[in-house]
Amino acid sequence: MIHSSQGGTSLLEVDGLSVDYGLKGVSSRAIDSVSFALRAGEAVGLVGESGSGKTTTAMAIAGLLSPNARVSGGQVRYRGNRLPIDDDAAMRPHRWSETSVVFQGAMNALNPVHRIIKQIAEPCMLKLGMSRGEATARARELLEFVGIPTDRGSAYPHELSGGMRQRVMIAMALACRPSIIIGDEPTTALDVITQAQILKLLGELRSQLNLALILITHDLSVVAESCDRVMIMYAGRIVEDGSVAEIFAQPKHPYTRLLIESIPNPASGKKMIRPIPGDPPNLVNRPLGCAFHPRCPSAMAVCATEVPSLDKLGRGRVACHLHRSSQDKVAVHA
Amino acid sequence: MSESTVRYSPRGRARAIKGFLRQFLSYGSAQVGLVCLVFFLVVAAVPNILVGPLQTAINATGDFLVPPSGQHLLGTDEVGRDVLNLVVHGARISLMIALLSTVISLVVGTTIGMTAGYYGGRVDVWLMRLTDFFFVMPSFVLALVITPVVLEVMGRGGEILGFRPSLFVILVVIGMTSWAFVARIVRSQTLSLKERTFIDRARVVGSSNFNIMVRHILPNLVPQIAANGALVVAGAIYVETSLSFLGLGDPLQPSWGTLLSLAQRAGAASAGAWWYLGAPGVCVLTVSLSFVLIGNALDDTFNPRRRVIP
Amino acid sequence: MNGGRTGRHIGSILIRAIITLLMVVVLNFVLFRVIPGDPAALLLGGARTSVTAEQMEAQRQNWGLDRPLFPDQVVHYLSATLQGDLGYSFKFRGQRVADLILERLPATIVLVGLAQFIAILSGVMLGLYAGWRRGGAVDHIATGASLALYSTPSFWLGMLLVVIFSTSLGWLPGYGAYSPGTITGSLDSLLDYLRHLALPVTAVALGLIGQYVVVARAAMSDVVTEDYMVTARAKGLTNGQMLMRHAFRNAMLPVVTLIALNLGYVVAGAITVEAVFAWPGIGGLTVEALNARDYPVLQGIFLLLGASIVVANLIADLAYGLLDPRVRQ
């Protein structure tokens, strides 16, 4: 059940992955049977509200699940080899060498007491076995590469602007020449102009280095600017997957449609953001059937009882009873 | 910091207090602390009923330095007084000094911190310079040199409200030297409260500065003052015990620290009279730990991320 | 980074230290005038009966006691203090207070220094480990024990140690610094000194360990939740590398401050412990001065404590600036 939007060899395959969090004896499912594939050089947006499982999905791929997380099903394969994502120590060689992460709010993601050059050089020394001198030279190259004057290398994080810190974070992510970069809300907390610059930088790096990019965001407009493909997540499941162009032109899942409608669009004179009615789903006590049905404007009786599977539709995938073939659709309108 | 500002209706306030109590009492440490504290407060309230009047060398009931027995549950001291009797009466003295000096410390600290924060400018600069001094110099060090001088000036005779004046000297000195910590916290809280809209509203309506401080700012400082107050008490017990141990207490009305001082002078440690020095020490430890636990639980309740213990 | 700013930062720290020290001296001056009795007689070391009228007059002139209180007397007092003239002891007739204090200081420094050393090594390590493995068995035990130690007067711990290890078991001496009759300078006398040192050092160290564990643990458990620790993990660092390269230095910031501050406070804190063990240091001198109402000595000790606290604060501020680049500006 591995789907890739345009075929070709997969760099990364996520297959039926489920992750639970245990907290004070209560277990809640953060992601449920998530499957997708990523090709080399591809840029995928992972979009959803907080609690939709987008961050858990990304952290599972990077091997950064927290200690109270448990992989309850499925697997992740990198270049065809299964990754030991629930084994902290066994994942260590994979981290940063194959998959690196650009965290949000680089202020706290960078260590305040070390100069930035040292933080960039660190993985080169520890992971690539470079000498201090080699690592520093590489860190200088990387700084230049992301557009920071090399003499700023001796600065501490607090001496740089938010955009500069995000660039440092990107330079650091490139240190071990990974093939996948995960951007965890990399432009949140930046002003619009800086945001555009950072997205542009990521785009350039991707094409120059043939990097696959997974961009986690709650902001569809960011995805529209910088990704080929988008996956919409809701309550721990992928509800829709398709090319950016198709999804924006013709959203199939009602949730996707509402998300797109809620993007403020100054051009069309629509100033008010229309929030999606209803509350985000409760993961401990999730609704039966489709998790979105209590908020869905097109909900049917079957939606409350049966979980829709993520099926191929056109060139993408969608998990919605509205789009199932007519013979097994019990079309009773609610 | 707590984002809630007090503008509740009476019913809302009752609900808030109930919610606070439920949260506070859910901490095991708070329960242990409260139980110990209530026990000692009861003991301190009615010592005469529990163990009879304070024994002196004249009306002592036992032999010298007798280990614990059925007759003397905690043994006797070097002049034959019952240690249980001394410790129970000592609770009254120790707690009185600790609590009253904390009241002084909180009143002075709150007044100075609130005034500095509210008026700002020069007032702030000078009050904070004063606060810095008391913040840097520990209460114990200041009290060590101030207390004997004041005792010499005042003399030790007479009684005030049934307590010896030297006890009041100690408690006033402790209170007047341990407020800086409170003043700093209150000042920073006042600075942030001052910018809130409801203060502006009160000012527009024409409330006086004093009125605004007492009616609008003070109620919002209560959580901070309470959590830190518990730690101030623990500190006061420590200072009082140390000063009394060095002989600045009153032998006619012995606190736990004074009892430890008497035990030391009587050579209780080298005589192996563990009960004599053990009983007051365990009391100090228990009460002080109770206040620390309560203070921590209060702080966790009001503001879950930060811890107060320095 | 900016030299001017750094200079100004250090300057303001220095000014605050000097103001605090001046206030200590002024408080000493005020207290001295408040004590009943003729200041001249007090200054002559309490030899109230055997002093002739001429001597009194000379003393009065010498100290400017016939001149106005402010500014003349205050200035005189300040300059005398600055020159190390702290007056004469009441109890030890004719002895200069400064000499008395200097004579007793080494014993206290040995006691306090050794206790600090032991407490830092064990308390900081234990606290950092407890915070790193927060919620583990070591954490629970260390936190409980250190809260109890934190609430216990260390002099009482000292008394317990005497009862247990000296009186009951007879392992170690619980009184003084030397056994009578040991020949000074021999190896035996050194061993004897160390045996006398063991219990008081333990008492002072236990009091400090509680504080260090609490602070180091709090600092480390804050650091562990920081975003840069997630970054370090994502970089593929081992637990040991994360601890040593990223967590340790950040967690040490508040701990170093506490250590520096304690350098000043511990001298005061050891007073009661010294009293328990009749240790011949500043604490012992304090008790003697209190019992004899020897105010000049008491004030000399106050000045010493004040100065050590101010210096310790100075070191703490400067050390923090060195360790944390954010403060340097």
Q: At what angle do helices C3-34 and B139-154 cross, to 10 degrees?
A: 20
* CA angle at B241 for the pair C283 and B146, rounded to the nearest 5°: 65
Helix (H/G/I), strand (E/B), else coil: A260: helix
C79: tokens are: 């300059």
Cα–Cα distances (Å) from C311 to C112, C317, C322, in that order, read: 16, 10, 16
The answer to whether the beta carbons of residues C133 and C85 sit under 8 Å apart is no
pLDDT at A222 over 80: yes
Query: What's the confidence (pLDDT) of residue B1?
Result: 38
Q: Do C325 and A111 touch (CB under 8 A)?
A: no
DSSP B82: B
Of A50, A48, A63, give the one whose Cα is nearest residue A14: A63
* In-domain check, residue A309: yes
Query: What's the confidence (pLDDT) of residue C114?
Result: 92
Query: What's the confidence (pLDDT) of residue C69?
Result: 67
Query: What's the confidence (pLDDT) of residue C143?
Result: 86
Q: Is C26 on the interface with B (CB under 8 A)?
A: no
Which residue in C222, C223, C226, C231 has the most chain A C-beta atoms within 10 A of its own C-beta, making it the best mutation to test that interface? Answer: C231
Query: What's the confidence (pLDDT) of residue C42?
Result: 62
- Residues from chain A that touch C238, judged by Cβ atoms under 8 A, are 89, 92
Alpha helix ranges (H) inside C35-66: 39-43, 53-62
Query: What's the confidence (pLDDT) of residue B308?
Result: 34
pLDDT tens-digit readout, B179-205: 998 898 889 888 888 777 777 777 777
CA–CA min distance B65, chain C (Å): 14
**Mean pLDDT over residues B30-59, rounded?**
80
Q: Give the pLDDT band of residue A46 (cuts 50, 70, 90).
A: very high
In chain B, positions 257-296, which contact chain C (CB-CB < 8 Å)? Answer: 260, 263-264, 268-272, 274, 277-278, 281, 284-285, 288-289, 292-293
**Percent helix, percent strand, percent coil in chain B, to nearest 5:** 70, 0, 25
Q: For chain C, give the number of residues.
A: 329
Q: Is C28 on the interface with B (CB under 8 A)?
A: yes
- Residues from chain C that touch B268, judged by Cβ atoms under 8 A, are 159
CA–CA min distance C217, chain A (Å): 19
Q: What is the CATH number of the domain that holds A289?
A: 3.40.50.300
- Residues from chain A that touch C237, judged by Cβ atoms under 8 A, are 92, 122, 126
Domains of chain B: 26-50+68-308 (1.10.3720.10)
B186: tokens are: 């209150």
The more confidently predicted of residues C45 and B287 is B287
For chains C and A, having 3+ Cβ pairs within 8 Å is answered: yes
Query: What's the confidence (pLDDT) of residue B306?
Result: 43
Query: What's the confidence (pLDDT) of residue A229?
Result: 92
The answer to whether the beta carbons of residues B140 and B242 sit under 8 Å apart is yes
Of B190, B218, B216, B193, give the one whose Cα is nearest residue B205: B216
In chain B, positions 110-149, which contact chain C (CB-CB < 8 Å)? Answer: 129, 132-133, 136-138, 140-142, 144-146, 148-149
Edge-to-edge, what's the strand order for the sheet holding A81-82? A26-39, A10-23, A69-78, A81-82
What's the CA gap between A52 and B308, in Å, rounded?
A: 36
Helix (H/G/I), strand (E/B), else coil: B246: helix
Give the CA diameter of chain B: 73
Determine whether A53 is exposed, middle or buried from the number of CB atoms within 10 Å of its CB (0-12, 13-18, 19+): buried
Query: What's the confidence (pLDDT) of residue A334?
Result: 35
One-letter amino acid of C43: L
Cα–Cα distances (Å) from A225 to A258, A268, A304, B81, B104, in that order, read: 19, 18, 35, 87, 64
* Of C235, C325, C326, Cβ closest to residue A96: C235
| Token pair 């407009």: residue | A221
* Of B144, B238, B271, Cβ closest to residue C153: B238
Interface B-C: count of C-beta contacts within 8 A: 136
For chains A and B, having 3+ Cβ pairs within 8 Å is answered: no
pLDDT along chain C (329 residues), means of 10: 63 84 85 70 56 69 66 76 74 76 88 91 90 83 87 89 80 73 71 83 90 88 85 86 87 85 82 88 87 82 88 84 72
Q: Do C166 and B270 touch (CB under 8 A)?
A: yes
For chains C and B, having 3+ Cβ pairs within 8 Å is answered: yes
Mean pLDDT of chain B: 81
Of B108, B47, B39, B94, give the one whose Cα is nearest residue B238: B94
* In-domain check, residue A112: no
Q: Domain of A310?
A: 10-98+178-323
Chain A residue at shortest CA distance from C241: A126
For residue A148, is it left (φ>0), alpha (ψ between -120 and 50) or beta?
Answer: beta
C260: tokens are: 């520096």
Interface A-C: count of C-beta contacts within 8 A: 70
Query: What's the confidence (pLDDT) of residue C44?
Result: 62
A218: tokens are: 């709650």
What's the CA gap between A189 and A106, in Å, rounded?
A: 10
The answer to whether the beta carbons of residues B283 and B94 sit under 8 Å apart is yes
Element (H, E) at B67: none
* In-domain check, residue A1: no
In chain C, positions 238-277, which contact chain B (CB-CB < 8 Å)? Answer: 258, 265, 268-269, 271-272, 275-276
Q: Is C147 on the interface with B (CB under 8 A)?
A: yes
Q: Is C225 on the interface with B (CB under 8 A)?
A: no
The answer to whether the beta carbons of residues B105 and B179 sit under 8 Å apart is yes
Q: Do A126 and C249 touch (CB under 8 A)?
A: no
Of B298, B163, B156, give the one whose Cα is nearest residue B225: B298
Q: Is A24 on the interface with C (CB under 8 A)?
A: no
* In-domain check, residue A103: no
Chain C residue at shortest CA distance from A95: C236
Domain residue ranges in chain C = 90-327
CA–CA min distance C120, chain A (Å): 22
- Residues from chain A that touch C235, judged by Cβ atoms under 8 A, are 95-96, 100, 122-123, 126-127, 172
By percentage, how much of chain A surpasses pLDDT 70? 89
The answer to whether the beta carbons of residues C33 and C57 sit under 8 Å apart is no
CATH of segment(s) C90-327: 1.10.3720.10
Q: Do B269 and C291 touch (CB under 8 A)?
A: no
Subunits in contact with chain B (3 or more CB pairs closer than 8 Å):
C
**Cβ-Cβ contacts under 8 Å for A143 (sequence gap 6 or more):** A116, A117, A120, A149, A150, A152, A153, A168, A171
Query: What's the confidence (pLDDT) of residue A266?
Result: 57
Chain A residue at shortest CA distance from C247: A111
The answer to whether the beta carbons of residues B253 and B240 sit under 8 Å apart is no
Q: Do C163 and B152 touch (CB under 8 A)?
A: no
Number of C-beta neighbours around residue C141 at 10 A? 12
A306: tokens are: 């049966």
Beta strands A26-39 and A311-313 are: unpaired
* In-domain check, residue A104: no
CA–CA min distance B8, chain C (Å): 34
What's the CA gap between C87 and C46, in Å, rounded?
A: 11
CA–CA min distance C93, chain A (Å): 56
User: What is the ipTM score, two decimals?
Assistant: 0.82
pLDDT tens-digit readout, B63-119: 776 777 767 677 777 777 777 878 888 888 899 899 999 999 999 999 999 899 888
* In-domain check, residue A121: no
Number of domains in chain A: 1
Q: Do C151 and B136 touch (CB under 8 A)?
A: no
Of B144, B143, B167, give the one whose Cα is nearest residue B156: B167
Subunits in contact with chain C (3 or more CB pairs closer than 8 Å):
A, B
pLDDT tens-digit readout, B117-173: 888 888 888 998 888 888 888 888 888 888 888 887 776 666 777 678 788 888 888
pLDDT tens-digit readout, B247-263: 888 888 888 988 888 88
